[in-house]
Structure 1
């Protein structure tokens, strides 16, 4: 029969006190309750653990062995309490954050700086990945928290297996080369773009946003170039390969030889930038703190950038 850890720790107090009466006082038990605990522990051990004497008790050889192991357990429990206290107080711990590149290039730097200033002893690790990989990283527990995006029609469901909270709406803008007929226009309607060649970033999710916007305007887009990044897309727009519909967050580093048309009628397609975590699980104190900072920083960046 396995021995009950709580009863083993009672035996430790008896050994330290030297009597059942003094141990009971330390534990805030009655003497009979301590005696009963020791008796039950002896039943579990199958041998006597204490010798009762006129002036207190002493441990048998078996009792001494149990106390040695119980003290190891006691030290482990105390260490666990101390470590949990340090983690909850953000004096230690590790936080693994996943992010998409457009967030890395925009407001994430401010969030990281704020987190490190407030919680310098937390080991923060950041993994940048495509939207399609973020869900896998969360599910496999390679990251604890993520910034990703969903399409607006996914608002109710969010990312599969994840609980999401909106940070900001990220509307798309139109990039055209310098000298293009749309340069200087205050607004443009999607149906005016039916004959334009398109440059997209290589991603089925990004392509779906463009296709939905074009189909709503009554045409299918003709893609002339698939870029591996939004910076590459800007370069191809600049040399006249086509026009591009890109998220506003991707304009953090904007080339001088392209023009941005921000007013797309009737409403530009947009992404929802969200904070994602595993559904049904509680975040660590570090994760909670970073989540708050990301929400604050992302929303403030939106206000500053217009």
Structure 2
């Protein structure tokens, strides 16, 4: 295998007409340049240039190798430009993982900000269940993912580096004309006689409701199982029952439902929204930039509607 650096030195010597000029261009001493050419000649088994009183002249083998070397140099310069463009976020693709609630709340603003600052970098988003997102992180199918957990299913994976972005409290969803709105917060124990709308298919928020109600001393009576939060809101508005949901899931709240916070006697669980990447891979510039945008957006949410929801004053 030929030493690429020696081939590139030969190219410089061919173009500049002397080893001294080639050495100066490459930042090495003339004696070091001469030694490297001698080693290259030993590698190929024949002379590559004639040393003249003034400069050098390439042999046929030297001209053939120098021509190939120009192609190698051009490709290396192209590779350097590609890497530089990726470092400066002028090209490339960032692969993100997310879940529906985050995709409908935190992610859009972060994507918009990222695209405005780095129009040359493409982003692709894969929305999936928690287990699928974890698998995609480990396999490298996504470089960065938004995840979530509750206190009873904390994510603890040493292969992942996770940042806690924001707390997402559980809120109560009631009709706009509900008598429950007379109080700024509601005790779960007071809701024992209510009909409940839950998420179907063993959705995590259904487990949140059941755990919370059992702590308050009752089993919830289920009147409807919905398949998304918009459907749940519609059934609440229609009077079929009340529901619980993470605050971020209700960013697009219907006009005919209201949100209430819970009293602290039996606090409803709060989930953590996490940003994760694999610990063994150094973050790319694109991953670092998007992480910053997501942290900024999370802070924006925490300081506005989400905070008011925690105080039980979102109407």
Q: TM-score range by the shorter chain?
A: 0.7 to 0.9
Q: Partners of 1:172 and 1:95 in 2: how far apart?
A: 31
Task: String of CA shifts for 1:100-128, please: whole Å, max 9, x gaps.
Answer: 22223223332222222222222233333
Judged with a 3 Å threshold, the aligned counterparts in structure 2 of structure 1 residues 159 and 205 are, in CA distance, closer, same or farther, namely farther
Runs of at least 5 residues in structure 1 that lack an aligned partner in the other structure: none
Measured after TM superposition, the shift of residue 204 of structure 1 is 4.2
Measured after TM superposition, the shift of residue 195 of structure 1 is 4.7
Alignment of 1:115-130 (within 5 A): 115-130=114-129
Structure 1 residue 276 and structure 2 residue 286: aligned?
Answer: no
Alignment of 1:236-255 (within 5 A): 236-255=235-254
Q: Partners of 2:91 and 2:285 in 1: how far apart?
A: 10
- Give yes or no for contact 1:137–1:143 (8 Å, CA) kept in 2: yes
Alignment of 1:1-306 (within 5 A): 2-152=1-151, 157-158=155-156, 161-177=159-175, 182-202=180-200, 203-266=202-265, 267-305=267-305, 306=308
Task: String of CA shifts for 1:238-294, please: whole Å, max 9, x gaps.
Answer: 334433210011222223443422124332211111222222222222221121111
Task: String of CA shifts for 1:133-171, please: whole Å, max 9, x gaps.
Answer: 32233233332222222224566x456743221221110
- Give yes or no for contact 2:205–2:244 (8 Å, CA) kept in 1: no
Task: String of CA shifts for 1:200-252, please: whole Å, max 9, x gaps.
Answer: 22344333333332343344445443322111111222334433210011222
Runs of at least 5 residues in structure 2 that lack an aligned partner in the other structure: 309-315
Give the alignment's TM-score, normalised by structure 2.
Answer: 0.84
Measured after TM superposition, the shift of residue 22 of structure 1 is 2.7
- Give yes or no for contact 1:14–1:20 (8 Å, CA) kept in 2: yes
Task: String of CA shifts for 1:14-62, please: whole Å, max 9, x gaps.
Answer: 2222222332233332332112111211222233222333433222222
Q: Partners of 1:296 and 1:58 in 2: how far apart?
A: 61
Task: String of CA shifts for 1:169-189, please: whole Å, max 9, x gaps.
Answer: 110011234565534333333
Task: String of CA shifts for 1:1-25, please: whole Å, max 9, x gaps.
Answer: x111111112112222222233223
Q: What is the aligned residue count? A: 304
Please tell me the root mean square deviation across aligned C-alpha atoms, in Å. Answer: 2.6
- Give yes or no for contact 1:173–1:264 (8 Å, CA) kept in 2: no
Q: Which stretch of the first structure deviates more once superposed, 229-238 or 258-267?
A: 258-267
- Give yes or no for contact 1:144–1:277 (8 Å, CA) kept in 2: yes
SS of aligned partner of 2:91: coil
Q: Partners of 1:4 and 1:210 in 2: how far apart?
A: 67
Q: Partners of 2:252 and 2:287 in 1: how far apart?
A: 29
SS of aligned partner of 2:6: helix
Give the alignment's TM-score, normalised by structure 1.
Answer: 0.87
